[in-house]
Chain A
Amino acid sequence: MARIGVVTFPGSLDDRDAARAVRLADGEAVNLFHTDADLQGVDAVVLPGGFSYGDYLRAGAISRFSPIMERVVDAARGGMPVLGICNGFQVLTEVHLLPGSMIKNEHLHFVCRDQVLRVENASTAWTGDYEAGQEITIPLKNQDGQYVADERTLDELEGEGLVTFRYVGWNPNGSRRDIAGITNGRGNVVGLMPHPEHAVEPGFGPDSRLNGRRGTDGLAFFTSAIRELVTTG
């Protein structure tokens, strides 16, 4: 069975939800702690949402220097699948596994809503069970969610197909080019602001007449990674 580690930093909020999502996708969730110096042999890692270290200095900035992140960076460079959700995405940019950065939402308000996204790249380690162009609805909740990068970086992301998710209908935080999530050149590292782990079980995710009573659109993140791990074994 694929073993997926979920890292808990001081101030992580969604580590348990992420672990639950792994289990619902038929994976084994392994709890990792920010002070751990090894990854306990996991096959993939999720950096969950929250406010690690109170978002002091910058969102994700201090987590970058925790012992576990050294191991995660090494493993990611070796090709291990790593998913950063919200604060986890911020950590991935601070540690330079993904380009760009997040600043405060353009309108300065905390946003919490069900958000429609378009899957732009369905060939990453975390999106293989989606189809390119598919629209999904998962929760979004953040204060520092405005994705920024210089124009050259944005052009490179677009040109190489690394924009993985884009906001549809409304850009909730002023992110450049409606970018909600990106991947690295190898496709093993994915970061996004919205929360797939909150949309994995019927009745507990975005679930309305408008979106066709789905509410489980986030589950395929986890099944994608597990399927890839099992087949490449």
Chain B
Amino acid sequence: MPTIVVHVMPKPEILDPQGKAVGAALPRLGFEGFASVRQGKRFELQVEGDVTDEVLTQARDAAATMLSNPVIEDVVAVEVVD
């Protein structure tokens, strides 16, 4: 079944408290060399049938209006994975 993957990230200018906490924990576990971490969301939309332009448009609309809040988040990618 084809899948549309939507990636949502906190806007660069918005402080990301979760990413900051993860970033601070990395060196404590011995993972060195990472300057910072930002944490986002990945949605997988399983498609019934083929991924038509219409389906893709619907996924993009859903990403912009529901899966993300444009005040605090950006949709960074909407891609089809088979």
Contact = CB atoms under 8 A, between A and B. Distances in A.
B67 to A, nearest CB: 7
Interface residues of A, number: 20
B18 to A, nearest CB: 6
Interface string A93-127: 11000011101111110000000000000000000
A58 interface: yes
Contacts of B21: 108
Contacts of A100: 71
A63 interface: no
B72 A148 contact: yes
Interface string A13-29: 00000000000000000
Contacts of A65: 66
A150 B13 CA distance: 9
A149 interface: yes
A148 B14 contact: yes
Interface residues of B, number: 12
Interface string B42-82: 00000000000000000000000011010110000000000
A174 B66 CA distance: 25
B66 A103 contact: no
B27 interface: no
A106 B17 CA distance: 6
A164 interface: no
Contact of B71 (A101, A104, A106, A174): A101
A58 B69 contact: yes
Nearest to B18: A104
A103 to B, nearest CB: 6
A29 to B, nearest CB: 31
A104 B72 contact: no
A108 B72 CA distance: 17
A101 B67 CA distance: 15
B71 A93 contact: yes
B26 interface: no
Nearest to A93: B71
Interface in A27-72: 57-58, 61, 65
A99 B69 CA distance: 12
Contacts of B72: 101, 103, 148
Top-4 shortest CB links A-B: A101-B71, A104-B17, A101-B72, A108-B17
Given A100-B71, A104-B18, A108-B18, 10 more contacts: A94-B69, A99-B71, A103-B10, A103-B14, A106-B17, A108-B17, A108-B21, A146-B17, A148-B71, A148-B72
Interface of A: 57-58, 61, 65, 93-94, 99-101, 103-108, 146, 148-150, 174
